[in-house]
């Protein structure tokens, strides 16, 4: 709605700031003082943002001075003669093509609508408090989750800083040890400074002993002094040898800190800068860490299959990747043994992406093979957006000590070292355990055997 203008002809270009409900006029600042002196008891309404629409009985359109006598059904608004005139000019005739009736003619219609609106408002008043309370609970939960995430980030980086600081202290201490072991240190300097005096004293004492050597009364004392001189010479030789060795070492040994190449240091710092990720979890980033799936791959059909089993996903965790963790049987079970609610995703050398879900997971076997029932299990083919559910009551998975886990029976069969093994295979269309197959070796584009380019296992956390 445009700002109302002053009703005074002199000030008609000024914006009105007050409306007098008795005089039914709009006033600017200049008119207000005069009006207040003349009519001290009139009701003045300030035209602020909350009271922009004041009902005066006159048309709200600028430059319309007619009383409101009509109702426009098209726009659900009261209007005047100027609004309905056939001549369109200067803001007039805006409703000349609309369905116009007299205000009196819509009285009963508006009364009926009023009754409906009153009932609507009564219903809203009953539910509003509950809605606001729920909104507050959601807001508080959001803040709690936000603080938990911030605390988790702070704790992780505190641990990182602690480890880095401890490693720095270790390396600084190691620098001291290496230099003290190989090169000059303060003790050697202090000991070497004493050598000339020690040599001088020992030499003087030796000459005195030599003169008094035939005095048998002092024999014991003289021999003891000889021993002291011998010890001094040994100590002097030891320190002197260290000094000579240090000189030799200085010519051949250099202490270094590795890595000292700029590119390796930058690479390490780059990893630190990229460490961690904050993102809003939803179904589109369920497998955000995947090297198999990309942002254009659509796997909502897998989410729907899980939701049909009453599983609402809270988050997912990548617990195993073959190219990172190794593709041996032991490598697999070191990461995945007895983990519940997992999805296996693999990409074959035939450029097919398929896998399966099992609620019970896989269990390492040390002797005989064992099969497991899981009525919620299914396998899937991403290339066709297709789910193949397990037949109720049938075995869903199989584990043994000579191969990696299987979706039974031979629906998906993986050997150890499956990244380089071209004998991994999928089933023909006849399958007594999983249903929905229409073609032979459907999961692998009609081919029985395959090698694995990549395989990932995700653990799903349900609400």
pTM of the model: 0.52
| Model pLDDT, residue 1 | 54
Look at residue 451 in the predicted model and tell me its pLDDT.
94
Q: Which long-range contacts (CB under 8 A, 24 or more apart) does 70-76 make?
A: 70/100, 70/101, 70/102, 70/103, 71/100, 71/101, 71/102, 71/103, 71/105, 71/106, 72/98, 72/99, 72/100, 73/98, 73/99, 73/100, 73/101, 73/106, 74/98, 74/99
Position 448 scores a pLDDT of 94
pLDDT averaged per 10 residues, the chain (length 463): 80 87 85 88 75 64 78 91 83 86 91 89 83 88 90 92 93 86 69 82 87 87 88 85 65 76 86 79 75 84 88 88 93 93 95 95 87 94 95 92 86 92 90 91 94 95 86
Q: What is the pLDDT of residue 157?
A: 93
- The pLDDT, as a whole number, for residue 161 is 93
pLDDT value of residue 323: 95
């Amino acid at each position: 709605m445009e700002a109302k203008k002053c009703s005074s002809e002199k000030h008609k270009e000024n914006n009105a700031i007050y409306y007098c409900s008795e005089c039914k006029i709009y006033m600017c600042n200049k008119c207000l003082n005069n009006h207040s002196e003349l009519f001290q008891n009139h009701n003045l309404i300030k035209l602020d943002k909350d009271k922009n629409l004041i009902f005066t009985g006159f048309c709200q359109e600028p430059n319309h001075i007619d009383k409101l006598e009509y109702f426009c059904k098209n726009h659900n608004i009261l209007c005047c003669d100027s609004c309905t005139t056939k001549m369109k000019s200067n803001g007039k005739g805006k409703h000349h093509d609309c369905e116009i009736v007299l205000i009196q003619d819509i009285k009963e219609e508006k009364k009926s609508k009023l009754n409906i609106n009153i009932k609507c408002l009564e219903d809203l008043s009953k539910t509003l408090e509950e809605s606001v309370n729920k909104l507050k609970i959601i807001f508080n939960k959001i803040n709690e989750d936000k603080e938990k995430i911030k605390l988790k980030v702070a704790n992780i980086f505190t641990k990182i800083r602690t480890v880095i600081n401890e490693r720095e202290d270790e390396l600084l201490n190691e620098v001291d040890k290496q230099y003290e072991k190989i090169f000059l240190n303060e003790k050697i300097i202090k000991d070497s400074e004493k050598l000339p005096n020690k040599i001088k004293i020992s030499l003087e004492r030796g000459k005195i002993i030599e003169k008094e050597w035939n005095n048998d009364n002092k024999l014991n004392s003289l021999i003891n002094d000889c021993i002291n001189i011998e010890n001094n010479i040994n100590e002097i030789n030891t320190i002197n040898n260290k000094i000579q060795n240090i000189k030799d070492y200085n010519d051949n040994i250099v202490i270094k800190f590795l890595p000292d190449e700029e590119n390796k240091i930058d690479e390490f710092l780059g990893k630190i800068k990229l460490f961690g990720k904050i993102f809003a979890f939803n179904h589109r980033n369920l497998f955000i860490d995947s090297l198999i799936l990309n942002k254009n791959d659509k796997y909502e059909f897998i989410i729907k299959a899980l939701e049909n089993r009453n599983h609402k996903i809270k988050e997912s965790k990548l617990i195993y990747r073959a190219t990172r963790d190794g593709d041996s049987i032991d490598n697999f079970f070191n990461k995945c043994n007895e983990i519940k609610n997992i999805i296996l995703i693999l990409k074959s050398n035939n450029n097919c992406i398929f896998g399966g879900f099992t609620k019970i997971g896989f269990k390492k076997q040390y002797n005989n093979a064992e099969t497991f029932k899981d009525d919620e299990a299914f396998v899937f083919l991403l290339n066709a957006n297709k789910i193949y559910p397990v037949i109720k009551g049938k075995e869903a998975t199989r584990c043994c000590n000579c191969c990696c886990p299987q979706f039974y029976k031979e629906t998906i069969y993986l050997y150890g070292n499956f990244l380089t093994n071209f004998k991994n295979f999928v089933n023909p269309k006849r399958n007594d355990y999983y249903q929905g197959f229409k073609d032979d070796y459907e999961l692998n584009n009609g081919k029985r055997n395959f090698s694995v380019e990549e395989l990932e296992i995700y653990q799903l956390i349900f609400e």
